[in-house]
Amino acid sequence: MSKDFDIIVIGAGIAGASVAAHLAANRRVAICEMEDRPGYHTTGRSAAMYEPNYGSPPMLALTRAAGAEFWAGGFLEKRDTMFFAPPEQGEQFQHLMGFQKGMREISVAEARQRFPFLRDGYAAHAVLDEGTADIDVDALHQHYLKLFRQRGGEVHCDHAVQGLEKNGQWTVRTRGETFRAPIIVDAAGAWGDVVAQMAGRKPIGLQPKRRSMAVVPGPEGEDFMKWPMVGDVGETWYCKPQSGKLLISPAEATPVDPHDAYADDMTLAEGIARFSEAVNYEVTRVERTWGGLRSFAPDGCPVVGYDAQDDGFFWLIGQGGYGIQSSPALSRLAAALVRGDAPPTDIMDEGLVLAEISPRRFAQ
3-state SS assignment for residue 357: coil
Distances, alpha carbon 109 to alpha carbons 31, 112, 118, in Å: 51, 5, 10
Q: What is the mean pLDDT of each run of 10 residues along the chain (364 residues)?
A: 88 97 98 92 77 92 96 96 96 89 94 96 97 95 97 96 95 93 97 97 96 94 95 96 95 93 93 96 93 94 96 96 95 98 98 97 85
Determine if residue 165 is left, alpha or beta; phi over 0 gives left, psi from -120 to 50 gives alpha, anything else beta: beta
Alpha carbon distance 321, 144 (integer Å): 19
Residue 41 confidence (pLDDT): 76
pTM, entire model: 0.94
Determine if residue 283 is left, alpha or beta; phi over 0 gives left, psi from -120 to 50 gives alpha, anything else beta: beta
Q: Are 271 and 242 in contact (CB under 8 A)?
A: no
Q: Which residues pair with 212 in a beta bridge?
A: 291
Phi and psi torsions of 287, nearest 5°:
-85, -35
How is the chain split into domains, by residue range?
2-44+137-205+299-363, 81-130+207-296
Report the amino acid identity of residue 211.
Answer: R
Listing DSSP states for 174-187 in one string gives ETTEEEEESEEEE-
CATH no. of 81-130+207-296: 3.30.9.10
DSSP label at residue 50: E
Q: How many CB atoms lie within 10 A of CB 152?
A: 11
CATH no. of 2-44+137-205+299-363: 3.50.50.60
Phi and psi torsions of 68, nearest 5°:
-60, -45
Alpha carbon distance 92, 65 (integer Å): 25
Number of H helices, E strands in the chain: 10, 22
From edge to edge, which strands make up the β-sheet containing 76-78? 49-50, 133-135, 76-78
Alpha carbon distance 164, 98 (integer Å): 45
Which residues have a Cβ under 8 Å from the Cβ of 142 and sit 6 or more positions away? none
Q: How many CB atoms lie within 10 A of CB 172?
A: 27
Phi and psi torsions of 28, nearest 5°:
-90, 115
Q: Are 343 and 75 in contact (CB under 8 A)?
A: no
Phi and psi torsions of 125, nearest 5°:
-140, 155
Task: Give the residue ranges of DSSP H helices in the chain.
Answer: 14-23, 57-73, 90-99, 108-114, 137-150, 192-198, 265-278, 323-339, 345-348, 360-363
Residue 364 confidence (pLDDT): 65
Q: Are 36 and 331 in contact (CB under 8 A)?
A: no
